[in-house]
Amino acid sequence: MSHVFPRHSRKELPVIARGEGPFLYDTSGKAYFDGSGGAAVSCLGHSDPAVLAAIKAQVDAVAFAHTGFFTSEPAERLAGKLIENAPGNLDRVYLVSGGSEAVESALKLARQYVFEKGETKRRHVIARRQSYHGNTLGALATGGNLWRREPFSPLLMETHHISPCYAYRGQNPEETSFDYGQRVAQELEDKILELGPQEVMAFVAEPIVGATSGAVPPVEGYFKRVREICDKYGVLLILDEVMCGMGRTGSLFAYEQEGIFPDICAIAKGLGAGYQPIGAMLCTSEIYDVIQQGSGFFQHGHTYNGHPTAAAAALAVAKRLIDDDAISNVAPMGAKLMDELHNAFLHHPHIGDIRGRGLFLGLEVVKNRETKEPFESELAIPARLKIAAFEAGLICYPMGGTIDGKQGAHVLLAPPFIMETSHIDLIVGTLKKALTKVLP
């Protein structure tokens, strides 16, 4: 009898035995192509020699030292590497153990920053519906996914949500994509004015929306307008790149492609590539200096902040991504995969949209492609697609509630950057089999 508390108590899972490149193998020897990197985590695949060597070397030296007493060389070098390669004026790195912690840290830093500036009335956080920012209570409250929030709503802090930039569902027929983006961005200014400009602290958004909506990219000009609005009212722009960052969209930071810079940025997943639990919150020198010249103490922290072994792993990952230029494979391989997805599913009666950027791609599953009508939720299409693909040897990331937290479905793909052209047929062919098996 197992004593593990699993994610789902009514499912029996195979036991993982080993990983090699883009594949995982269970104890029976069955191979699975890791087409979603778990949850967009394993950007370098499994068993990368350079990352494994870095972890072993650090454990041999010192595995752990609490940041209340020491800094460490891996943490210092990792922070330097990230800032050196982060466009804009991000200047400081706060290392944590995952994405939820990174977002939670960003929210608390934002509040302490405005507090120490004397703008103590600033407390409101605005985010977008159909967003996901993590599962700790502050991050969950910030996220706009109804299904995830609902059971815990009595425990959540007050937050405010505006429309997502979700052109497939939100753009009117008479609108250009640019005009649509400007319209939904204007909701941010309207909400700030409604709440009171002196009381709004931050706007939080994913540059490319991940798990909740399935790789939804913004339209051109949307984030530039968002940045203008934040600047106009002194509102901090917090970008959540936990899932879409660290090369996943073809550039180290996804926001690079929008021509804007955040005040605070959260990263994780691809930062450690699955080799160690790690995340990070990056902020500008302006924010850091207010704390440094004020109380001098960020009133926050976790036992495993700046964990030396995790930092050593992430530094090795960063070197592989940047120095070895593993990111350069993302855009061309993503374009090839997108082309084959279009060839296979552009006219599929139950695929309404194929979208994404780089190796962060999504397919929206619909009952009727012409009307965009979703399948009934009780059919459990995402769960069945996940099972069918997994049984056929493909790990992918189907989710429900795409439209409003209850209706809609999509499949998210986030394969490793090391994938090869030969793997595209495996992904598309296996996905086609799963769709044929599950969809009526």
Over pLDDT 90: what percentage of the chain?
98
User: 363 forms bridges with which residues in the sheet?
Assistant: 354, 411
pLDDT at 175: 97
What pLDDT, in 10s, does the model give residues 56-114? 999 999 999 999 999 999 999 999 999 999 999 999 999 999 999 999 999 999 999 99
Which position has the token pair 């460490």?
A: 72
Q: Which of 437, 416, 436 is nearest to 32 (CA)?
A: 416
What pLDDT, in 10s, does the model give residues 205-242? 999 999 999 999 999 999 999 999 999 999 999 999 99
What pLDDT, in 10s, does the model give residues 321-367? 999 999 999 999 999 999 999 999 999 999 999 999 999 999 999 99
- Are β-strands 360-365 and 409-413 bridged in parallel, bridged antiparallel, or unpaired? antiparallel
CA 117 to chain centre: 30
Give me the phi and psi of 32, to 5 degrees please. -130, 125
**Model confidence, pTM:** 0.97
Structural Rg of the chain based on CA atoms:
21
Neighbouring C-beta atoms of residue 149, cutoff 10 Å: 18
- On average, the pLDDT of the chain sits at 97
- CA-CA distance, 307 to 421, in Å (whole number)? 36
- The vertex-214 CA angle with 151 and 398, nearest 5°, equals 70
Q: Which of 406, 364, 342 is nearest to 167 (CA)?
A: 364
Cα distances from 315 to residues 170, 237, 330, in angstroms, run 40, 26, 20
Give the full edge-to-edge strand order of the sheet including 90-96.
Answer: 90-96, 279-284, 264-267, 236-240, 200-205, 124-128, 160-162
- CA-CA distance, 103 to 78, in Å (whole number)? 19
Above 90 in pLDDT, residue 1? no
pLDDT at 336: 98
What pLDDT, in 10s, does the model give residues 28-40? 999 999 999 999 9
- CA-CA distance, 320 to 305, in Å (whole number)? 23
Q: Which of 342, 391, 399 is nearest to 374 (CA)?
A: 399
pLDDT at 130: 96
In the chain, how many H helices and how many E strands?
14, 15
- How many residues are listed for the chain in this entry? 440
Which position has the token pair 């609005």?
A: 229
- CA-CA distance, 135 to 142, in Å (whole number)? 10
Confidence bin at 413 (pLDDT 50/70/90): very high
- CA-CA distance, 167 to 412, in Å (whole number)? 17
Confidence bin at 245 (pLDDT 50/70/90): very high
User: 239 forms bridges with which residues in the sheet?
Assistant: 205, 265
Q: State mean pLDDT over 292-298.
A: 97
pLDDT at 440: 78
Neighbouring C-beta atoms of residue 366, cutoff 10 Å: 26
